[in-house]
Amino acid sequence: MADAVMTGHKYVTPTRKRSGFRKMMERKSTIAFLMALPLLILLSVMVLYPFGYSLHLATLNKSMTRFVGFGNFAFLFKRETFWLVVQQSCIFAITAVVFKALIGFIVAHFVHNIPNKGQRKWRGMLLVPWVIPPAMSTLAWLWLFDPSYSAFNWLLSFVGIGPIPWTGDAYWARFSVILVNVWYGAPFFLIMYLASLKSVPEQLYEAAAIDGANWWQRIWFVTLPMMRNIISITVLFSLIVTFANFDIVRILTAGGPIDKTHVFATWAFWVGIQSGDIPLGATVSLFMFPILAVCAVFILRDIHRRGNEA
């Protein structure tokens, strides 16, 4: 008996090893990892490598021949334009996201209240700004803002206003880039909020109505708390995209007049590509990362804390 066990044991050991490997391969987590592996490799190549490379670039001198450590960062801190860009990027991103969220929320409510029959075509039409390539639609806006042939100025002339220097004056130029960004990005908020609104159970509104809530109280005490997670996610996502916006500012104002509409991406492009100082351009673009990372940490932590309350 003992022999048999021993003999069995002798032959079992290698089989166990094989079955252990097979077991590992059959484990759901292993399969999941292997299936995600191509994406992970793609992400590494497309994201991590450029990120690491820009970190490396940021530590070089203008001709990329000498390591300067934090020299580029120190140089930027002393430049007035840099602080102007920081300020403008924050104003641009925050104002645009607030208006996009607000308009998206209001329009989503209107669309939600349209009977199902007609709702589809409204949803389709309202999504149009978001599906047109922004470079193309911004060109159309550029014509609308044109100093000589502005359609807006033509319309405003009938009520005795104008002409407004849409892209020629610093404040109007900032207003214009924000306006175009809001026009382009609000449909994203609309569609996300509409989906979220549809998932709020109708009975909660009915319960609130019976509890004595008026329309505004139903929005404040039912709709907003029920949509909090989706609002946080969309705001975070849009904040990242808007902060890193390039095309709208580039086409509409190219950062002008006198750098007054530059945001990080356009200024990094200006400094790095157009002025030929690639390490300094890389340094500028790296400044977006910590700002967005802090936003992401706060918002995601809030979402995680609340968890799934449904």
Taking alpha carbons only, the member of 186, 178, 189, 141 closest to residue 263 is 178
**Stretch of residues binding another protein (CB under 8 A), selected from 146-154, 156-164, 169-177, 208-216:** 208-216
Q: At what angle do helices 170-198 and 116-131 cross, to 10 degrees?
A: 140
Residue 302 touches another protein, criterion: CB under 8 A: no
- The helix (run of H) or strand (run of E) holding residue 7 is helix 2-26
Q: Which of 46, 48, 206, 275 binds another protein (CB under 8 A)?
A: 206
Q: Which of 68, 142, 213, 292 binds another protein (CB under 8 A)?
A: 213
Q: Which of residues 214-273 bind another protein (CB under 8 A)?
A: 214, 217, 221-222, 225-226, 228
Residues 24 and 30: beta-carbon distance below 8 Å: yes
Residue 113 touches another protein, criterion: CB under 8 A: no
User: What's the DSSP call for residue 67?
Assistant: B
Residue 208 touches another protein, criterion: CB under 8 A: yes
Q: Reduced to 3 states, what is the DSSP secondary structure of residue 253? A: coil
Residue 118 touches another protein, criterion: CB under 8 A: no
Residues in contact with 119: Cβ distance below 8 Å, sequence separation at least 6, in sequence order = 111
Taking alpha carbons only, the member of 242, 272, 202 closest to residue 96 is 242
Considering the complex, state which of residue 196 and residue 245 has its C-beta at the smaller distance from another protein.
196
Q: Reduced to 3 states, what is the DSSP secondary structure of residue 218? A: helix
Considering the complex, state which of residue 11 and residue 215 has its C-beta at the smaller distance from another protein.
215
Considering the complex, state which of residue 97 and residue 226 has its C-beta at the smaller distance from another protein.
226
**Stretch of residues binding another protein (CB under 8 A), selected from 104-112, 116-124, 199-207, 279-287:** 199-207
Residue 204 touches another protein, criterion: CB under 8 A: yes
